[in-house]
Chain A
Amino acid sequence: MTDDSTSRRLTSARFSVSKGLVTMAVSTVVLVILGFAIAPSSVSQGAVLGMLPFASVLAIVGLGQMLVVQQGGIDLSVPGAVSLAVVLSTHIPNQNDAMLVPAILAVYAWAIGAGVLNGFMVGRLGLNPIIATLGTNALLFGAVLGISGGIPRTTTRLLSSIAGGRTMGIPNALLIALVVLLLVTILVKRTVAGRRFEAVGASPAAARATGLRYRTHRGAAYVWAQLLFATAGIMLAGITNQPTAFQGNTYLLTSVAVVVLGGTSLLGGRGYPVATVVAALFLSQLDQFVLALGVPFAVRTLVQAAALAIGVAIYTVDWAALRRRLVARSDAATATP
C-alpha cells in the first residue's frame, strides 16, 4: 500500500488507553503516594518485593478470567485449577528437581483437559458457565485430594528459585507475568484468531452474521483460561514454600474483582489485559496499605468490597443518562400534578 494520505484519510493511533487502565493506574499511583504519606511501611522495599510475586500470580489468574469474562462467561473453577497446579508441581517432583519438567507437563495436560471440558459444555452444549465451571471445580478438587491426600509437600528448590527468585533485583514472578501479559496481548490483538475472538466477545450476534464460528471461540476462552490458571498455580507453588492443597481458594473472587476493576464488563465485550494486570497490582498494594495502617484483616476485606463497588459503578452506571433521567423526572413531577 502506498502512503498517499489525503486530507480526509482516516488514521489510527499506535496505542490506545482505556478508561479502565487510566482509572486503575491513577488509583495505584494515588495509593503509593498515600503510602508514602501515611503508611510508609507499605511502600518499603521489603513490602513491595514481598507483594509483587503474589500480585503477579493474581495478574495471571486475572488474565485468564478476563478471557472468559470477555466472552460473557465466568470461570468458577479457578480454585480447583490453581490448587491442582500447585499440588501437581509439588507432589510429582517431591523435591526432586529432575522431575519438575514432567510435573509441569502434567499440569498443562490437566489444564487442557479441564479447559476442553468447560469449553465443550459452555460453547457446544450451551450450559450456563456458572454451573459448568462449578462442576468442573468440584472434579478438580477431587483430583487435588486424590493426588495429595490433602497433605502438603515442600516445593523443589529449582521451582522455588525460578518463581521466587529475582533477576537484577526484579522478582522473576513479575517478569513472568509481564511475558504472559505480552503474549495475551499479542495473541488477542495481533493474530487472526485473536481478533475474531475479540469480535465474538464484543457481539456474538454480529460475529455470527459475519460467518464466524462463535461457539468455538467461546469455548476456546476456557482452554486459554485454564492454561493461565495452571501457569499461576506453578508460580504459586514456587513462591510459597509449602503450599496447601487449597491454595487456589483465595483467587476465585479476587480474579473476578481484578477483571471488573480493569474495566471488562461481566456481560462480555472487549477485554483489557493491561488494565487487568494493573488492577491486580492495585488490589495487592491496597492490601499492603491497609495492613501497614495496622487495622484488622477484616477492614481490608471491606476496603476491597468498596473498591469493587466503586469500580463497577464507574464503568456500568451510565452517569450521563442518570443525570438526564433525574432531570426529566423532576420535570415530569412538576408537569403532572
Chain B
Amino acid sequence: MNIQAAEAPATVATLVMSGISKSFGGVAALTDVSLEVRPGEVHALLGENGAGKSTLMNVATGTIRPDAGSMVFRGEPIDGIDPRDATRLGIAFVHQHPAVLPDMTVYENLLVALPPAVFAEAPSREEFARSLLARVNLRAHLSDRVETLSVAQKHLLEIAKAIAVKPALLVLDEPTAPLGEDAVRMLFRLVREFVAGGTSVVYITHRLAEVRELADRVTVLRDGRLRATAVVDEISDRELLALIVGRQLDSTFPPKHDGPDEAPNFIIEGLTGPGFKDVSLTARRGEIIGIAGVVGNGQSDLLRALAGLSHFEGSVSINGTQVTSKRLLGEAAYLPADRLSEGLMMRLTVRENAAISALERFRTGRLLNRKRELGMVGDTLGSLSVKAASLDAPVSSLSGGNQQKVMVGRALLSEPELVLADEPTQGVDVGARAEIYQILREVSASGIPVIVASSDAKELEGLCDTVIVMSRGHVVDVLRGDDLTEERMIHAAVSSTTSTVGVEDITDADVDERTAVRRAKIRRFVQGDYAPAVLLVAVMVLLGAFIFAQNDRYLGAFNISAMLLLVSALGFIAMGQTIALLTGGIDLSVGPLVGFLVVIGSFFILNESSTASILLGFAAMLGTSIVVGLVNGTLIRYVKFTAIAATLTVYIALQGMSFILRPTAGGYINADISRAITTKIGPIPVAFIVLVLVVVALEYALRRTPWGWRLRAAGSDEESARRVGVEINRTVVLAYVATSVLTFFGAIMLMTQIGVGDPAQGVAYTLSSITAVVLGGTSLLGGRGTFVGTLFGAMLLVQVLNATVFLRLDQMWQYILQGILILAAAILYAVARSKRRRRAARKV
C-alpha cells in the first residue's frame, strides 16, 4: 500500500474531514475516514458500490450527521451543519438523482432553486438563465417543461444549478453516468474552468479513465474505510485497482457447477431494450449466470425485460423454446432489488406474500384450499428456514435476510421457468447469505436457469459459473472459468469507455431546433398550462352562439349580469380550490365553509345592524376562514392525515356548526350591503371585475413570485422541492389558509344571493368548485394549473347550467351536461398528458 503522507498545504484547505465515522442501524458505513480537499484541485473519490463515497459527501454537505469526527471548511469548523448552511457556505452537491421539479419550466426550476442574489449581476434574469444553460450546453428552451426533458438534460440542469452559485466546493456524484459523449466532454471542460478559478471539486466515480483525465489527487475507499490518498500521476492503474478490490468476504459459497457439458438450456441473442443493447449470453443446465457492473449500467433493465416487464427485441430461449415477453411475465420469477417498494407487499403477511404467485395451485373448485396453501407455503418456507413469528406476521416485521427468503419462497412456489434475482443479498446478514447462495444453486441444479445481478463482484466470483460485465448498457466482457475473478470484473467495469445507450437526443435536439422552431413553439403552447383555457373559451363561444341562435334574450343585460354574479361566487371558491389542488391536495371543506360563513354573517350583517356590527361580522367571517385553513393545513402536514380525510372531517364539523348556530334559516342580510356588493357597471357586476382582477393578480403571483414557485414546487415533487430549499410544511399550510380566505370572498357573494343565513346552503360548492378547477386544466396530481383556466371553467359551468334554462331543457340535462363536461375534460387532458409523458420516456 502506498499511502502518501499529506504534504503541508500551501494555503488553507477547502475542506478537511478528519476521523469521520457513521453507522446505520449497527452497520458501519464509514469508519475513521479522513479527507482533505485543497483549493483548486479535482479530488477523485474512488471505490466500489457501497464503499461509502456518497455517504462521506452527504456528511460533508450536512445531509447526514456523523457519529464521530470533525470537519473544517476554509479554516472554520463546520460540525453540525445542515444542507442549507452548506449551500450558504458555498458547497454545492450534484446528486445522482437530480432534484428537479417536473411540472415547472426550466426557467422556473432555476428561479425556485437559486438565491435571488445570483441573478442580480446579469442585465436580466432570463438572460442569466439562458447563459447558464449555454454554459452547460443544455439545449432546452427556458419555457420547456422539465418533465419533457431527457434524463441527461435533467442532469445538465442540475449541474447548471450547482455552478450558478459559484461554489467554493463542488461535489459531483457520478455525473457522467447518464450523459452522452458530448455532454461528458462539456462537463470536463466546465470542471477544468472551475478549478482554474479556484473552486475545489470532489468527483465521485467508478471509472479510472475519468480519474486519469480529470483528477489531481485520488482517495480510495473500501468498506467504509480509507484505503489511500494519492497524487493521480504517481499511481498506476494496477495499484489503484488493488486498492479498490480485495474486500474481505465473510460468507461461504456452495461448490460451483461441475456436471457434464450438456447443450445450453438458456440462450439470449442480440437482446436490445430500454437501457441495454445487444446482449447475448448462453448457459448450460446447472450454471448460474452473473451480471456484473457498476449499479445503474443496465443490469436491472435487462432483468426487468427478461421478467416481461418491459419490451425487448432479440430472442430468448429456455430449454430450446423461444419465449415471448408475455410468457416471461407469467413464467419468470423476478426478485427485484428494491424489496421495500417492489419486491414484497410490505403490509401483507408472510403467507400472503409467499403464496401470491402460486394461487392457482392451491385451488380446489372455485375456492382456495386453506389447508393446501398452508401446507405448501409452510413446507417451502420451512425448507428455506425462514424465521418469522408466524405465517400471519406482516412481512415488514422480518429481517432483510428472511424477507429475501420469502421472495425466494414465492419464486419456488410459482414453479418458474426462469429465476431472476437482482441484488439478492443486499441488506442480508452473513448467515442468510450463505443459505440464499445454496438455494440458488439448488434451483439452478434442478434445471431452471438462474440469473443474478449484483454490484458485489466478490459475490459473483464466488457464486456464478459465467458472468457478463455491463457498462452503460453494453456487455463489455464475458468471463468464465479461471477468468471469473473480482479483479477482472472490476477492471472491465471501471476501465470501460463506452457511452450510454440511447441518450443521443442531445444532438437530436440540435436538428429539431433548426428545422422546426415554429413547431416547437406550438408544441410548447399545447404542452403549456394555458391550452385548456383557450379550449374553454372556444367551447363557451360556440355554446353561447348556439343558445343565442335559439333565444336572443340570452345575451340580454339581465341574463349576463345574473350569470356573472353566479360566476363571482363560484369563481372565488374555485380559485381557493385551485390553490389546494396545486399543492397536490384537495379541500373538500370549501362548500360547508362558505355556508358556515354566511351563517356567521347572518348574525352581524342585518338590516338593523350598526356599522360596527357589520364590520365585526366581516372580520368574524374572515377570522373563521383563516382558522379553518389553519386546521386543514395542520391536520394534513403535522398530523399526517390525507387531504381527503382531513378536509372531510372539517367538512362534517362545519356542517354541524352551521346547524348549531342556525337550526333553521334566519337572519336577513342587510339589503344596503347586498346592493353595494352587487353594484353593476352596465351589465357587468363590480364583483365580477374584482374577481377578474384577483385572478390576474393570483396568476401573476403564481408565475412570477417566489410564493407561486414554492407552491407549485411543493405540489410537483415534495422531495425535490425540499432539496432545493422549499419549506414544505409552511407552504402547504399557508396554501390551505389562502384557500379558505378566497372561500370567504365567495361567501360574501353567496350571502347577497341567498340573502339569509341558511345552514343547508353552500355544500354543493365543494363539488362544483372541483369541477370548475378540473375543467380549467389544473392537475389533481399537483404542481400545475392556472387561475385563468379555473375562471373559464367556472364560467363554462355556470353557462351550461344557464343554457338548460334557455334551451328549455329539464333538470336532467343540467346533470348530464355537467357529467359529460367534466368527463370529457378529464379524459382529454389525461390522454394529452400521457402522450406527452410517453414522448418524454422515449427520449430516455
In the complex, A208→B357 CA distance in Å?
11
- Closest chain B residue to A5, Cβ basis: B378
Instruction: Collect the chain B residues with CB atoms within 8 Å of residue A2's CB.
Output: 375
Contact B815 A141 (CB under 8 A): yes
Contact A192 B359 (CB under 8 A): yes
Task: Write the nearest CB–CB distance from A310 to chain B, whole angstroms.
Answer: 10
In the complex, A202→B394 CA distance in Å?
12
Contact A190 B660 (CB under 8 A): no
Encode B336-348 as 1/0 by CB contact (under 8 A) with A. Answer: 1000011111111
Contact A145 B390 (CB under 8 A): no
- Closest chain A residue to B373, Cβ basis: A12
Instruction: Collect the chain A residues with CB atoms within 8 Å of residue B555's CB.
Output: none
B511 in the interface, Cβ–Cβ < 8 Å?
no
A182 in the interface, Cβ–Cβ < 8 Å?
no
Contact B343 A270 (CB under 8 A): no
In the complex, A1→B377 CA distance in Å?
10
Instruction: Give B351-405 interface residues, CB cut-off 8 Å to A.
Output: 351-352, 355-357, 359-360, 363, 366-368, 370-372, 374-376, 378-379, 381-382, 385-388, 390-392
Instruction: Give A121-158 interface residues, CB cut-off 8 Å to B.
Output: 121, 125-128, 130-132, 134-146, 149-150
Task: Write the nearest CB–CB distance from A6 to chain B, whole angstroms.
Answer: 7
Tell me the interface secondary structure of chain A in the complex. helix
In the complex, A206→B386 CA distance in Å?
20
Give which listed residue, A135, A192, A208, contacts B309 with CB less than 8 A.
A208
- Closest chain B residue to A125, Cβ basis: B830
Task: Write the nearest CB–CB distance from A152 to chain B, whole angstroms.
Answer: 15
Task: Write the nearest CB–CB distance from A184 to chain B, whole angstroms.
Answer: 14
In the complex, A130→B780 CA distance in Å?
9
Instruction: Give A268-301 interface residues, CB cut-off 8 Å to B.
Output: 269-270, 296-301
Contact A138 B355 (CB under 8 A): no
Contact B334 A209 (CB under 8 A): yes
Give which listed residue, A5, A10, A125, A196, contacts B827 with CB less than 8 A.
A125
- Closest chain A residue to B393, Cβ basis: A10
In the complex, A297→B351 CA distance in Å?
47
In the complex, A207→B352 CA distance in Å?
12
Encode A205-217 as 1/0 by CB contact (under 8 A) with B. Answer: 1111111100000
Contact B816 A298 (CB under 8 A): no
Contact A317 B640 (CB under 8 A): yes
Give which listed residue, B309, B348, B370, B812, contacts A199 with CB less than 8 A.
B348
In the complex, A205→B337 CA distance in Å?
13
B23 in the interface, Cβ–Cβ < 8 Å?
no
Task: Write the nearest CB–CB distance from B832 to chain A, whole angstroms.
Answer: 12
Contact A301 B80 (CB under 8 A): no
A198 in the interface, Cβ–Cβ < 8 Å?
yes
Instruction: Collect the chain B residues with CB atoms within 8 Å of residue A192's CB.
Output: 359-360, 363, 368
Contact A10 B658 (CB under 8 A): no
Instruction: Collect the chain B residues with CB atoms within 8 Å of residue A136's CB.
Output: 819, 823
In the complex, A286→B348 CA distance in Å?
32
Contact B815 A142 (CB under 8 A): yes
In the complex, A186→B370 CA distance in Å?
12
Using known A-B contacts A135-B822, A195-B356, A300-B656, determine if residue A121 contacts B827 with beta carbons closer than 8 Å.
Answer: yes
- Closest chain A residue to B773, Cβ basis: A131
Instruction: Collect the chain B residues with CB atoms within 8 Å of residue A312's CB.
Output: 641, 645-646, 649
Instruction: Give B732-790 interface residues, CB cut-off 8 Å to A.
Output: 759, 767, 770-771, 774, 780-781
Task: Write the nearest CB–CB distance from A41 to chain B, whole angstroms.
Answer: 21
Contact A299 B345 (CB under 8 A): no
Give which listed residue, A11, A196, A306, A313, contacts B391 with CB less than 8 A.
A11
In the complex, A298→B599 CA distance in Å?
14
Using known A-B contacts A10-B350, A302-B653, determine if residue A74 contacts B644 with beta carbons closer than 8 Å.
Answer: yes
Contact B391 A10 (CB under 8 A): yes
Contact B819 A126 (CB under 8 A): no
Instruction: Collect the chain A residues with CB atoms within 8 Å of residue B388's CB.
Output: 10
Contact A8 B830 (CB under 8 A): no
Give which listed residue, A134, A256, A304, contacts B822 with CB less than 8 A.
A134
Using known A-B contacts A128-B781, A298-B660, A305-B653, determine if residue A195 contacts B355 with beta carbons closer than 8 Å.
Answer: yes
A253 in the interface, Cβ–Cβ < 8 Å?
yes
Instruction: Give A234-276 interface residues, CB cut-off 8 Å to B.
Output: 253, 256-257, 260, 266-267, 269-270
Using known A-B contacts A199-B356, A316-B645, determine if residue A134 contacts B392 with beta carbons closer than 8 Å.
Answer: no
Give which listed residue, B410, B646, B653, B759, contacts A210 with CB less than 8 A.
B410
Task: Write the nearest CB–CB distance from B90 to chain A, whole angstroms.
Answer: 22
Contact B348 A301 (CB under 8 A): no
A336 in the interface, Cβ–Cβ < 8 Å?
yes
- Closest chain B residue to A203, Cβ basis: B345
Instruction: Collect the chain A residues with CB atoms within 8 Å of residue B586's CB.
Output: 130
Contact B343 A209 (CB under 8 A): yes
B114 in the interface, Cβ–Cβ < 8 Å?
no
Instruction: Collect the chain B residues with CB atoms within 8 Å of residue A298's CB.
Output: 655-660, 663, 759
Size bracket of the A interface: 35 or more
Instruction: Give A7-37 interface residues, CB cut-off 8 Å to B.
Output: 8-13, 16
Give which listed residue, B652, B774, B780, contacts A301 with CB less than 8 A.
B652
In the complex, A68→B145 CA distance in Å?
33
- Closest chain A residue to B374, Cβ basis: A12
Give which listed residue, B385, B640, B653, contacts A8 with CB less than 8 A.
B385
Task: Write the nearest CB–CB distance from A326 to chain B, whole angstroms.
Answer: 12
Instruction: Collect the chain B residues with CB atoms within 8 Å of residue A299's CB.
Output: 656, 660
Instruction: Collect the chain B residues with CB atoms within 8 Å of residue A198's CB.
Output: 348, 352
- Closest chain A residue to B385, Cβ basis: A8
Contact A145 B656 (CB under 8 A): no
A44 in the interface, Cβ–Cβ < 8 Å?
no
Using known A-B contacts A132-B826, A302-B653, A305-B649, determine if residue A210 contacts B367 with beta carbons closer than 8 Å.
Answer: no
Instruction: Collect the chain A residues with CB atoms within 8 Å of residue B344's CB.
Output: 203, 206
In the complex, A210→B409 CA distance in Å?
13
In the complex, A146→B774 CA distance in Å?
26
Contact A336 B382 (CB under 8 A): no
Contact A316 B641 (CB under 8 A): yes
Instruction: Collect the chain B residues with CB atoms within 8 Å of residue A6's CB.
Output: 382
In the complex, A211→B327 CA distance in Å?
10
Instruction: Collect the chain A residues with CB atoms within 8 Å of residue B642's CB.
Output: 266-267, 316
Contact A308 B648 (CB under 8 A): yes
Contact B367 A211 (CB under 8 A): no
Contact A202 B811 (CB under 8 A): no
- Closest chain A residue to B344, Cβ basis: A206
B834 in the interface, Cβ–Cβ < 8 Å?
yes
A170 in the interface, Cβ–Cβ < 8 Å?
no
Give which listed residue, A140, A211, A317, contacts B357 with CB less than 8 A.
A211
Task: Write the nearest CB–CB distance from B362 to chain A, whole angstroms.
Answer: 8
Instruction: Collect the chain A residues with CB atoms within 8 Å of residue B387's CB.
Output: 8
In the complex, A301→B592 CA distance in Å?
12
Contact A196 B356 (CB under 8 A): yes
Contact A202 B815 (CB under 8 A): no
Instruction: Give B814-842 interface residues, CB cut-off 8 Å to A.
Output: 814-816, 818-820, 822-823, 826-827, 830-831, 834
- 5 residue pairs, one from A and one from B, having the closest CB atoms: A1-B375, A301-B656, A138-B819, A298-B659, A142-B816
23 contacts between A and B (CB under 8 A): A1-B376, A9-B378, A10-B350, A10-B378, A138-B815, A142-B816, A144-B815, A191-B367, A206-B345, A208-B309, A253-B651, A266-B644, A269-B347, A298-B658, A298-B663, A300-B656, A302-B652, A305-B650, A305-B653, A308-B649, A309-B649, A316-B640, A316-B645
Given known contacts A1-B372, A209-B307, A316-B645, what 11 new A-B pairs fall within 8 Å (CB)? A10-B390, A74-B644, A131-B826, A136-B823, A142-B812, A202-B348, A209-B334, A210-B357, A266-B644, A270-B348, A312-B646
Interface residues of A (CB under 8 A from B): 1-2, 5-6, 8-13, 16, 74, 76, 121, 125-128, 130-132, 134-146, 149-150, 186, 190-192, 195-196, 198-199, 202-203, 205-212, 253, 256-257, 260, 266-267, 269-270, 296-302, 304-306, 308-309, 312-313, 316-318, 336
Interface residues of B (CB under 8 A from A): 80, 307-309, 329-330, 332, 334, 336, 341-348, 350-352, 355-357, 359-360, 363, 366-368, 370-372, 374-376, 378-379, 381-382, 385-388, 390-392, 410, 586, 635, 639-642, 644-646, 648-653, 655-660, 663, 759, 767, 770-771, 774, 780-781, 810-816, 818-820, 822-823, 826-827, 830-831, 834
